[in-house]
Amino acid sequence: MNLGHFQQYVQEFCKEKGFEDVTDEQRYLYLMSEVGEVSDALLKLQFAGEDKKTDIRDNLGHELFDVIWNAVEIANRHDIDLTKSFEEKMKINHGREW
């Protein structure tokens, strides 16, 4: 799935589930909550035995999805074409000194 398709998926899912009534502030707090869950998964991964790492990585992938989903929802609310934004930002970064 490409970024444009994912943006469309998020938009349709929000309409279907009634998430359009969530304020920007609430959506941002959801995003930050998901970032916290990524942090928790990374900490668990760091200290887990090899027998548990696969399950933790699977969970980490789901939490990363949630972070991206919330960020895309914020972009959709403000009519931001993320494909265009990503292309522009990649050009900016290409010429940057790090």
28: in domain: yes
45: in domain: yes
33: in domain: yes
Given a cut of 90, whether residue 98 has pLDDT beyond it is: no
The number of domains in the chain is 1
Domain interval for residue 48: 22-80
According to the model, what pLDDT value does residue 86 have?
Answer: 97
16: in domain: no
pTM score over 0.85: yes
86: in domain: no
Mean pLDDT, rounded, for 12-26 = 94
64: in domain: yes
Q: Which amino acid, 78? A: H
51: in domain: yes
36: in domain: yes
- Alpha-carbon torsion 69, 56, 40, 18, what sign? positive
